[in-house]
Structure 1
C-alpha cells in the first residue's frame, strides 16, 4: 500500500496544503494509506478531513522510510540527511544558493526530490501550479506598496485574507479615491499574468499586457519605466532578456513599484537587476532607490495570502497525478525523478544549478 504523508508547513505565514479533504477521501478510496500531520494554522481545519492516520507537526522526520512526504514550501534549513521521497517546491535547480545544500542532503540520505515545479505533462506544461493566485495576490501587494509609496512610506506588514473579495476591499480602501496606477504586466498570457491582470482590472487600473511577442526583440524595455507599476510574471530561463537593468533605479521614470511575482532574485536568470533578495510578509517592500523613489516587492509565498482558495485550486490540479503515485517510475513522476538525478549528478563537478 503506497503511503502518502501530508506534512505540516513549518514556515511562518504558510497556511496552504496540497490535498483537500475530498482529495484525501479519493486517495483512501484508491487504496492509498494517508497520514496527515496536525497543523493548527492550516487554512483547512483538521476537523474537515475524513478519518485517516494523524501525526504530530514535523513528525515526518521519523516516518517509515517508504512513506512519500508531501508538502509545499521548503524544509527547515539544516544539514540532516533526507532519507524519504519528498514532493515539494525545492527551489534547487536554477542556481539558488541553498539549492546544492538541499540536493546534498538528499544525496547523503538516499532520498529523492520530486519537485512540484517540474511535474510536467507531455507538452511540458506544469500539471499543477499556484500561478493564478500568485499573480492575483502579487498584484494586490504591489498596489498596496504603491499606495504607501505615494506618501513616502513603505508598505505595512501583511496578513492573510479569508477570500478574494476581502482582499479586494482591503486594497480598494488603501487606494482611496485617487487615480489608479498604470500597470504593465510581462507574462500576461500565463497563469500568473492572468491572475495579476484580473486583480488590477478589478481595482480599476489601466493595464498594459505583454507576453512573448512584445519581448522577443530583447531588453531592456524603456516602456516599463513609463508605467507606475511593473509586474513580472514570467518563469525566467537562460534565454530571458533583462527587463529592468540596474541603471533603471536612478533613471527618470514614472515607475515606482516593481512586483516581482516570479520572485527568483538569486537566480542568474533573473530579468530584474535592481535588487537581489526576497521581501517578506513583515517587510513587503524593499526601497532600492530614494530619488526617484523605487520599491520592489518579491514575496515567494504569495498565494498564502489567500490560503483556502489557492489550496483548493492547486489541490484539484495535483490530485490526478497523486492518484498515479503507485508507479513513480512513469509519467510526471518519472520525469521529475530524472530531473533530480540529473542535478544531483552535477554536485561533484560544481555545476549543479
Structure 2
C-alpha cells in the first residue's frame, strides 16, 4: 500500500490556531510508513517541538509551494492568494461548490495548475460527512450567542479552553431566567454541540430538524430569544430570518449563525451577507426598540483550538490509508471536484 507524503501547511489566516493532524496521530501515521512534514507557524496552538518529538520533519512557513511532487498539502482554511496556479493535491475547506464568493477563482487556480482539491466538507460515506469541526462550531456559536444575549460579550473574542468557556457560561446563568433558545439542525454535529453549550448555560431549548422546517412556522421561530442556525443547505428555500422580519413584533433578539453560508445563494439567513470577525463578532440589525444581532464568525472552532484540533485529527487520520488510491470518502470528494471543474 502506498503512503503519500503529507505536508501540514501553516494557516495563512492570522487568527487560525488549529491544525488538521495533532502530534500523537502524526506519530501513528509515521509508524505506518507515512512521511509527515509540518511547517513552522507563529499561531498554531501546538508547538512545533511536539511534532518533532513525534518524528515529523519541519519546513519553513509557507514552503508548501515548493513541496515535492506528489506531496499532499493538508490544511484547514483558505489558501493564500499566491501562487496563482495550484499544482499539488490540497486537502482543506475550500467552500467552492455552493456559489460562495471567490469560489470560481479557487477552482480556476486548480484548473490552471493541474492540481487537485479534496475538500474536507465533501469527505462522505453514503452521503454522510465523516470529518468535520461541526460539534465545536455549534458549541462556540451557541456559547457566544448566549453570552451576547446576557450582555457579557461587549468586545472582541480570543481563543480559550473549553474549561474557561464553560465557566463563563455557568456564571452567566446566575440571576437569569432561562432564555428560550431554538436550535435548527439539532440532530447534526453542530446542533449537538450547540445544545450541549446551551444546556451548560441553563437555557430552555427547542430542537428543530428538517421535518420542523418543511413548512416554516415563522411565528414560533420569532417567539424565541435566541436562534442557533446549524443547517447546511445546497438549494434555495424559505429563509429562517430575512429583512422583512426586522420590523415585525418578535421576541427574537440574538442569532448565532453557525453554518455561516453568508455569500451563498442558499443562505438561510439572508438578512446578513457578510461574516463577522473576532474583533467585531456582532452585527446589529433592526431598530433601537426592536433590535436583532447576528454572530456569523466563519472559524468558530478555532476559538477552542486545542479541543477542535484533537477531535478533527481523530476523524481524519483513519481515512488517510485510502488517500493514495482515492478510495472511500476520498473518492466522493474527488467526484465533487471533477463535477465542478468542468
Range class of TM-score, shorter chain: over 0.9
Q: Which residue of structure 2 lines up, in the alignment, with residue 40 of structure 1? A: 42
Q: Is the 8 A contact 1:230 1:257 kept in 2?
A: yes
Matching residue of 2:201 = 203
Paired with 2:177 and 2:40, the residues of 1 have a C-alpha distance of: 46
Q: 1:129 aligns with which of 129, 132, 142?
A: 132
Once residues 148 and 216 of structure 1 are traced to their aligned partners in structure 2, the CA distance between those partners, rounded to angstroms, is 33
Equivalent position to 2:124, from 94, 110, 120: 120
Deviation at 1:237, TM superposition (A): 2.1
Measured in 2, the distance between the counterparts of 1:115 and 1:309 equals 22
Inter-partner Cα distance in structure 2 for 1:251 and 1:23: 52
Q: In 2 relative to 1, CA 220–62 (structure 1 residues): closer, same or farther, beyond 3 Å?
A: farther
CA contact (8 A) 1:30 1:323 kept: no
The RMSD of aligned alpha carbons is 1.6
Distance 2:12 2:172 in 1: 31
Aligned residues between the structures: 337
- The answer for the alignment partner of 1:31 in structure 2 is 33
For residue 279 of structure 2, the aligned residue among 279, 282, 293 is 282
Question: Counterpart of 1:261?
Answer: 258
Cα distance, 1:42 vs structure 2: 1.2
Q: 1:238, 1:79 → 2: CA distance? A: 32
**Secondary structure of residue in 1 paired with 2:124:** coil
Query: What TM-score do you get using the length of structure 1 for normalisation?
Result: 0.91
- Please list, as runs of the form range in 1=range in 2, the aligned pairs for 1:54-65 lying within 5 A after superposition: 54-65=58-69
SS at match of 1:250: coil
- Which residue of structure 1 lines up, in the alignment, with residue 160 of structure 2? 161
The 8 Å contact of residues 3 and 68 in structure 1, kept in 2 or not, is answered as yes
Question: How far did 1:175 drift?
Answer: 5.3
Question: 1:227-252: CA deviations, max 9, x gaps?
Answer: 11100011112164321122011111
Aligned counterparts of 1:70 and 1:79: Cα–Cα separation in 2: 16
Q: Give, in whole Å, the separation in 1 of the partners of 2:166 and 2:248.
A: 32
Q: Which runs of 5+ in 1 are unaligned?
A: 346-353
Q: Which residue number corresponds to residue 313 of structure 2?
A: 315
Contact 1:220–1:243 under 8 Å retained in 2: no
- 1:98-126 CA-to-partner distances (Å, cap 9, x unmatched) read 100000011111111100000001x2111
Q: Conserved in 1, the CA contact under 8 Å of 2:142 and 2:194? A: yes
Deviation track 1:292-344 (CA, whole Å, cap 9, x = no partner) reads 0110110111011111111111110111111222212x222122112101101
Q: Is the 8 A contact 1:130 1:314 kept in 2?
A: yes
Corresponding residue of 1:237: 234
Q: 2-side partners of 1:144 and 1:263: how far apart? A: 19
How does 1:33-182 map onto structure 2 within 5 Å?
Answer: 33-49=35-51, 50-78=54-82, 80-121=84-125, 123-148=126-151, 155-162=154-161, 164-174=162-172, 176-182=174-180
Q: Aligned with 1:179: secondary structure?
A: coil
Change (3 A) 1:220 1:266: farther
TM-score (norm 2): 0.94
Task: Give distance in 2, aligned partners of 1:126 and 1:239.
Answer: 21
Q: How does 1:8-19 map to 2 (within 5 A)?
A: 8-19=10-21
Give yes or no for contact 2:14–2:43 (8 Å, CA) kept in 1.
no
Which is further off, 87-96 or 12-21? 12-21
What corresponds to 2:243 in structure 1? 246
Task: Measure the CA separation in 1 of the matches of 2:171 and 2:154.
Answer: 14
Unmatched tracts of structure 2, length 5 or more: none
Once the two structures are TM-superposed, the CA of residue 52 in structure 1 deviates from its matched residue by 1.9
Instruction: Report deviation, 1:273.
Output: 2.2
Residue by residue over 1:24-48, the C-alpha shift from the partner in whole angstroms, topping out at 9 and shown as x without a partner, is: 1121112111111112321122222
In 1, distance between residues paired with 2:340 and 2:312?
26
